[in-house]
Structure 1
Amino acid sequence: MSRGPDAATQLERALVAAAAAAGCPIAVTAADWTRWASATFTGARHSLTLTAGASPLLEQWLVGLSDAEFALRGTLVADIHVVRMTREDGVVTVALEALTVEER
């Protein structure tokens, strides 16, 4: 029996869907994750690289990203933030880091 996509895949899909809904389609061009645990939680740390066309809608979406809610099955997005952003020839490349925590 399949459990469905993992947290990393769900996060990527949620980001793409949220950006499209905000009118600023993105592409996830790189993604990696590592397991993470504290005394009370387990989850993963995610590093993602996104690309998109430069636009005010993209800027607005990125500003609100840390407060956004993402519906991931069995997982909460505890933290997400922009680490770095570059602009070149109308293309914005964004490095994100996120922390997901497994629901118990």
Structure 2
Amino acid sequence: MSRGPDAATQLERALVATAAAAGCPVAIATADWTRWASATFTGARHALTLTASPGPMLDHWLVGLSEVEFALRGYLVADIHVTRMRREGELVTVTIEALTVEER
């Protein structure tokens, strides 16, 4: 029996979907995650690199990213933020870090 997609897969899909809904399609260039735990929570730290076309809709989506309510089955996005953004002509490369925790 399959448990369904893990937190990393769900987060990637949610980022692509919310960006598309905001009018700024993105592509996942790279994605990696490591397990994470505290005394009371377990989850994962994620590092993702996205690519997109430049524009005001992308800028608006990135500024509001930390306020987005991501619907991940079995997980919560506890923290998400842009750590780097590089513009090269008609391509923007964005590095995002996130923390997901398992719902109990």
Shorter-chain TM-score tier: over 0.9
1:11 aligns with 2:33: no
> What TM-score, normalized to structure 1?
0.99
Q: CA shift at 1:32, angstroms?
A: 0.2
Secondary structure of the 1:59 match is helix
1:63 aligns with 2:63: yes
Secondary structure of the 1:10 match is helix
Gaps of 5+ in 2: none
Query: Aligned partners of 2:25, 2:47: CA distance in 1, in Å?
Result: 19
Residue deviations 1:35-93, cap 9 Å, x none?
Answer: 00000000000000000000100000000001111000000000000000000011100
> What TM-score, normalized to structure 2?
0.99
Percent identity between matched residues is 79
Instruction: Give the count of matched residue pairs.
Output: 104
Query: Aligned partners of 2:63, 2:90: CA distance in 1, in Å?
Result: 19
Amino acid at match of 1:11: L
Tell me the equivalent position of 1:42.
42
